[in-house]
Structure 1
Amino acid sequence: MNVDDLQWQLSNLGGVLPRIVEEILGRGGLEALVQAAREREDWFCAAGVVRGLCAVGAFERAWTVVEPFVATGWQPAVRAGADVLLRWGHVDQALELARPERPQENPVDAWRDYAEALVRAGRVDDAIGVLGPRLRDGRLLGAMVEMTEGQGCDERVWELLAPIAEEFRHGPEQRNDLWGALAAQARVLERTGRVDQAIRLLGADVAARRYGPQNNVEFYAELLARHGRVEELRDLAETQRYSAVRPYVTALENLGRAGEAEAYLRDLIAARHPGWHESTLMGLLIRQGRVDDAIEAGEHTFDDLYDGNLLQAALTLLADQGLHDRAIGLTKGRSPEFLAENEESWLRPNRWWLMGESGRAGEAIAEIQALPADRVEDRELTIAWLLAQDGRVEEAIALLRPLPGARAAADLAELLIREGRLTEAIAVIPDVATQREEKRRLRAEW
């Protein structure tokens, strides 16, 4: 078993796709996945098998499946193996497995996983002791806050976070990697009931513009919203529109003040304040069942050639409400300039998808077949999906089977799963070596 292959699978969603693994599990195909994990050395199959076996208490067999992967020392497998052992009740063996072998060399993930195993073994103080000296790595800081929630140790966590947060406050430009300490500190205060202190501290940080690349403004806005601080949230939205307008609108809506939220958004739009306020307004109106008003709110952008175009958002909102025919109508009558830029790349494929979802797959297939083959990207894949939507699954399978590439294989596998042909579904997916070669070739062509 090759660690490089395992990492490639994880980084590239290689091998058998996780969604296909879940579909096979859902159809009772555990044994087919066990075979694939063993014979293909497929990580996602192995991980799915472990979840399925642990769910029914078959921990010994789950360990048998994951042990060859664990033996490579690859961290995701070590994590999964420790999880199996903990659930099996082999606590000492789990902790021995999870403990980093070379403390000075092991990456952040190994320390996080070891601390998580300690917490699950009931040794929370030991977990904090492991992470405490390493909290200046933001990933471990956030992990400690996550894993200690509800463990009765918030005061100790607070004591560790406070100096790190102060270090960032006094030199944010030098310690940009510590930005997460501010939100983490507020989160610990919030869960101990000191909400006013959390809001005061983080509010001062936001006002002083102390936040990092994934700034804390959004967390602060959500903190205010969770505790009904609507007026403070509105004040924040006046200066931090990109991060705070949507939480403010949601808070008003949750309080039954949707009319006030609508008026606020319309004022922002009328004043031409930057931001995706039309999109937020469309969502608000759709949730109220006001479909015509929602379309009207965004339709002035539907022919724009720039990022402010909300046609795609409108199609998605309508489809989510089951209003496929209404969405299809919006794809028609667009300007020649818009069609020249967008029709082939995404507008027509979206229309065909909507038609397939609304029982008009045959009509969509006819549209595709009336076009020159070189004018339709992924022509056979699209037709195959539409055939399946139309109930013509065997025709779709026959169309997909000779097509090359991992995507066609995944589509074929999903249809075979639908037909209950689970082992065959796995067999049609190229192995990892073949998929890696395909990726390498495609990169070279680019």
Structure 2
Amino acid sequence: MDVADLDYRARTRSGCIPPELVLRLLEHGHVDVVELQAGRGEWFCALAWARLLGEQGRQADALEVLAPYLATGWWTAVEAAAELLEGWGRVDEAIEITRVRMEAGHPMALESYTRLLARHGRAEEAFMLLRPHIGEPSLAVTLVDVAAAVGRDEEAAALLAARTGHECSDFPWCCRGLDRDTAIGLLATIRERQGRIDEAIALLRPDGTTLLNRRQLAALLALHGRLDELRAAAASDDSGYAVRRLALLLEERGDVEGAIAAYRQADLPGAHDAHAAVELAQLLARHGRGSEAIEVMRRQADARNGDDWILHILADLYLGQGRPEEGLAHLDALAAARGGEEYWDLYGIRLPLIAARDGVDGAIAQARSHPEGATWYAALHIAELLAGAGRIEEAVAVLEQHASRNGHDLAGYLIDIGRVQDALTILQRRTARPPEPSDGPRHDAPRSETPCPV
């Protein structure tokens, strides 16, 4: 096996059987297919088969399945094997295979190795390994997590405090990503863990202009029930984080009206933020106020005519309320305001509403009458309508006309109707792989970076 090829196919889900379709094979009882493909270089099949064998108590067989992948040194396989070994109680073996990759210089192995150590009584050793790497964001997070297990919170805090005065000149290169705001956030995490909540809040507030700190501050205030302070933060936070946290906290406490008001107050960012409007609509729908939810999204759709994600949510709300006719009328009015022309990315939004009103065949007829109705992307929507009506064979026939563009969807439906070999043929079709970066396969080549001089 070639590590670069394995990595490329696993990352891009191309030329392989992706995990969701491995699951589909298993759900349809094709365990033999998964077993066979596991030995033919299909990583996601190998992982699923190894897990099944482990659950059956056949751990040696499971490791034998993974052995060819592990032999390449591919980090993804090493990490998966370590997770299985740890789950089986074979901790020393999990630590050992991770240590080998760490000592080989793999950029992601140190974090996994030290977390393994910390989980199994060797947190002191983990802390000392991580200490020189305080300037690397993921490892700094790991160090903060590990510090609690060995009573080294103050030492970790001192390491972070030394970085809070650094102003990045060329982020992320000058500091490898652990900028001042990240350091402050981690320091606040330590203070919160120590029960020094006021100090944690004070750390986050002076630099509240950063999104990172505003998000953490809002979460901190909500977690500790600091409702008045959260309200004050919501009133001045144009990022929307505090508004959302306030609304969630009030909803959890049973104050649905208060949660709604948090979004609706005219002086809050949620009144003008499309994402907050969506959350408000979802809140209303959760509490049986579908008509109000629709009205919220109608206003957003009118203000942002042509934003497909807004129209998707609006259409789904109309569908969920059993009001497809009204939904289509509103979409028609919006289309008219755009000059009457509607490209497929917007037209396709109306198909479930048409199907609810006129039936699946009526929706398909209208889809095919659209100027883009014969395209590969229209075929996806048509097939979805057919499949939703249980007409899988017809969905397959539609997608087979564009098999080169709709391979994964087509393969899923082929598995559903038992045409497994046809599905595999489509999925395992290889395409030319782009050249690797000069420093080797992504995620598997050690990196050389200059640490920040602080």
The answer as to 2:230 corresponding to 1:233 is: yes
- Report the TM-score, using the length of structure 1 for normalisation: 0.82
Match of 1:124 in 2: 123
After TM superposition, the structure 1 stretch with the greater mean CA deviation from structure 2, 178-187 or 107-116, is 178-187
TM-aligned CA distance change 1:69 to 1:12, over 3 Å: same
Q: Which moved more, 1:15-24 or 1:413-422?
A: 413-422
State the aligned residue count. 422
Shift of residue 137, structure 1, vs aligned partner: 0.8
Alignment partner, residue 217 of structure 2: 220
Q: Report the alpha carbon displacement of residue 110 of structure 1 after superposing the two structures with TM.
A: 1.1
Mapped to 2, the partners of 1:359 and 1:51 lie a distance apart of 46
1:184 matched to which residue of 2?
Answer: 186
Q: Is the 8 A contact 1:299 1:310 kept in 2?
A: no
Supply the distance in 2 between the matched residues of 1:74 and 1:296 (Cα, whole angstroms): 52
Q: Distance in 1 between matches of 2:83 and 2:124?
A: 19
Tell which has more relative contact order, 1 or 2 (C-alpha 8 A, sep 6+): 2
Q: Quick one: which of 426, 431, 434 aligns to 1:434?
A: 431
Residue 61 (structure 1) shift = 1.8
Q: Give the corresponding residue for 1:443.
A: none
Please name the residue that 1:442 is paired with: none
Structure 1 residues 272 and 219: alpha-carbon distance in aligned structure 2, compared to 1, 3 A threshold: closer
Q: CA deviation at 1:305?
A: 4.1
Give the stretch that moved more between structures: 298-307 or 407-416: 298-307
What is the aligned partner in structure 1 of residue 35 from structure 2? Answer: 34
Residue matched to 1:425: 423
Aligned with 1:64: secondary structure?
Answer: helix
1:139 deviates by 0.8
Give the partner amino acid of 2:266: L
Aligned to 2:5: 5
Whole-angstrom distance in 1 between the partners of 2:340 and 2:156: 55
* 1:32 maps to amino acid: V
Percent of residue pairs bearing the same amino acid type: 29
The aligned runs of 1:86-235 (5 Å cut-off) are 86-100=86-100, 103=103, 106-145=105-144, 148=146, 153=149, 155-156=151-152, 158-173=153-168, 177-178=178-179, 179-191=181-193, 194=195, 197-198=196-197, 200-209=198-207, 215-235=212-232
1:83–1:117 Cα contact (<8 Å) kept: no
Aligned-residue Cα RMSD (Å) equals: 3.3
2:252 maps to 254
Tell me, in whole angstroms, the C-alpha distance in 1 between the residues paired with 2:110 and 2:72. 18
- Which one of 410, 413, 417 corresponds to residue 412 of structure 1? 410
1:367 shift after superposition: 0.6
2:114–2:126 CA contact under 8 A, matched in 1: yes
Equivalent position SS for 2:428: coil
Which residue is equivalent to 2:63?
63
5+ unaligned residues in a row in structure 1: which ranges?
Answer: 438-446
Q: 1:78 to 1:46 in 2, by over 3 A?
A: same
Structure 2 distance, partners of 1:364, 1:5, is: 42
Per-residue Cα deviation, 1:62-92 (whole angstroms, up to 9, x for no partner): 2111111111111111111223333445444
Is contact 2:293-2:317 (8 Å) kept?
no
Bigger fraction of residues in helix: 1
Alignment check: 8 A CA contact 2:141 2:186 kept: yes
Worse-matched range after superposition: 90-99 or 362-371: 90-99
